[in-house]
């Protein structure tokens, strides 16, 4: 009976959170729709599990934590996962304002990324065609009727990267394939069957980047907002995997925007910290991204290609002679930029994003 009463109270508190969200939003219909969606999509069991877990970690009462997530929800547009991930229970109100929460991130994407143009980022074939001058490598797209074109592309190559045109989030479907010149017809048919229609020349990275983990291309995610660099982090492969993202045991660490150095330890998917790579033992803290200024400049130039998509996460390979693009993302995410171990003075990245948006407003005002 006590458990039933407790669950009833918890559900009432959850509904109260949504009520406060709506009051805070007022007559802003766009945000109201967002909250209504959350009402129907919210995973209550998981929410209560997070509260119980934080109760064990912090020693704070469940009621306090519930009401604190309510406050963070309607005041900072933070979901309960944001509250846990960014350890907002350790932050004061001034610090909480600096966190780029899920709600704030979604609002930026909605404001700056025109839905009619995001196809250039969701479809990798369209992306490669549009941003060809930034790729610095050959590619071909299988269409079922171009075996001879594919043969010409594969000529002299020992291996290639094959990937689907869409749906590669987390490295899904991306594969390095060894080429046997005598069996190209079979390879073509297999790739067509697997929907791995985009074939690319294997990117070659800078030797310093390769030292971190030679089996993967260790990319830098550089995010631009209004053609300004607002965030960056390094992704490093692990355990011999070809891809470098977290879902394949990879590591991440933020990059200092000014000088391109790694000043904080890396995280893996379990949020274990690493000061050196667990496989290669290369030191991570203090590592400097080669050609950092060139990489930032390239992303800013690439951002001018489709001005209708103003907030982009660019995956950059630091090549032997110059940086080049691997792909672009119209939904860059918000969770990897400001993890607790990566914050200086417990300050998040939102002030940088806000400044970029304010500069945009000022520029528009000056044009009138």
| Domain assignment present for 97 | no
Closest to 103 in 3D by CA, of 70, 78, 69: 78
Are residues 191 and 268 located together in one domain of the fold? no
Judgement on whether residues 210 and 350 belong to the same structural domain of the protein: yes
pLDDT of residue 255: 97
Domain-ending residue, one of 177, 201, 225: 201
23-71 pLDDT per residue, tens: 444 445 555 555 556 656 677 889 999 999 999 999 999 999 998 998 8
| 261 and 188 housed in the same domain | no
Report pLDDT for 1.
Answer: 37
For residue 38, the model assigns a pLDDT of 60
Domain that holds residue 169: 138-201
Residue 60 and residue 193 in one domain:
no
Residue 107: per-residue pLDDT: 94
Whether residue 278 is predicted with pLDDT greater than 60 in this model: the reply is yes
Entry field: residues in the chain: 368
pTM metric for this prediction? 0.87
Domain match, 190 and 238 both: no
Tell me the H-state helices in the chain: 2-25, 29-41, 44-58, 62-76, 80-85, 93-96, 102-112, 119-122, 124-130, 147-154, 184-193, 207-212, 292-303, 350-367
- Closest residue by Cα to residue 140 from 72, 92, 76, 188: 188
Q: Among residues of the chain, what percentage have pLDDT more than 70?
A: 85
- Residue 131: inside a domain: no
Question: Checking phi first, is residue 208 left (phi over 0); if not, alpha (psi -120 to 50) or beta?
Answer: alpha
Same domain as 342, residue 215: yes
H or E element, residue 41: helix 29-41
Q: What is the C-alpha to C-alpha distance for residues 304 and 226, in angstroms, rounded to an integer?
A: 9
Same domain, 297 and 352: yes
pLDDT at 39: 56
pLDDT of 226-249, one tens digit each? Answer: 999 999 999 999 999 888 988 889
Using alpha carbons only, how large is the chain's radius of gyration in Å? 23
Whichever domain contains 186, its CATH number is 3.30.1490.20
Beta-carbon neighbour count of residue 335 at 10 Å?
15
Q: Are residues 272 and 324 in the same domain?
A: yes
Cα gap 109→228, rounded to integer Å: 15
Is the residue at 111 inside a domain?
no
CA 246 to chain centre: 10
CATH value at residue 351: 3.30.470.20
In a domain, 125, yes or no: no
Phi, psi of 326 (to 5 degrees): -95, -50
Residue 116 lies in a domain: no
Beta strand residue intervals within the chain, DSSP E:
139-141, 159-163, 175-178, 198-201, 220-225, 228-236, 251-254, 266-267, 273-274, 311-318, 323-329
Rounded Cα distance, 182 and 159, in Å: 14
């Amino acid at each position: 009976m006590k458990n039933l009463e407790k669950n009833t109270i918890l559900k009432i508190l959850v509904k109260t959170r949504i009520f406060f969200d709506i009051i805070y939003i007022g007559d802003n219909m766009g945000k109201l729709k967002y909250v209504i969606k959350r009402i129907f999509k919210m995973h209550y069991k998981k929410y209560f599990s997070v509260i119980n877990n934080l109760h064990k970690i912090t020693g704070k009462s469940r009621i306090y934590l519930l009401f604190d997530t309510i406050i963070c929800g309607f005041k900072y547009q933070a979901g309960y996962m944001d509250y846990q991930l960014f350890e907002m229970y350790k932050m004061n109100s001034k610090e909480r304002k600096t966190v780029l929460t899920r709600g704030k991130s979604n609002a930026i994407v909605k404001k700056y990324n025109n839905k009619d143009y995001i196809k250039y980022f969701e479809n990798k074939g369209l992306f490669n065609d549009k941003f060809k001058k930034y790729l610095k490598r050959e590619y071909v797209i299988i269409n079922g009727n171009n075996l001879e074109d594919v043969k010409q592309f594969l000529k002299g190559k020992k291996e290639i990267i094959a990937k689907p045109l869409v749906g590669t989030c987390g490295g899904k479907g991306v594969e390095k394939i060894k080429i046997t010149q005598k069996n190209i017809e079979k390879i073509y048919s297999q790739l067509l069957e697997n929907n791995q229609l985009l074939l690319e020349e294997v990117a070659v990275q800078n030797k310093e980047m390769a030292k971190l983990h030679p089996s993967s291309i260790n990319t830098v995610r550089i995010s631009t907002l209004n053609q300004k660099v607002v965030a960056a982090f390094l992704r490093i492969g692990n355990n011999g995997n070809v891809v470098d993202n977290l879902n394949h045991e990879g590591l991440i660490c933020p990059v200092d925007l000014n000088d391109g150095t790694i000043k904080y330890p890396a995280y893996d998917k379990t949020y274990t910290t690493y000061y050196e790579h667990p496989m290669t033992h290369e030191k991570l803290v203090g590592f400097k991204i080669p050609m950092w200024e060139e990489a930032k400049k390239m992303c800013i130039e690439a951002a001018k290609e489709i001005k209708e998509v103003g907030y982009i996460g660019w995956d950059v390979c630091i090549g032997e002679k110059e940086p080049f693009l691997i792909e672009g993302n119209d939904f860059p995410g918000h969770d990897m930029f400001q993890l607790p171990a990566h914050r200086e003075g417990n300050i998040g990245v939102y002030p940088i994003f806000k400044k970029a948006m304010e500069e945009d407003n000022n520029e528009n005002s000056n044009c009138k």
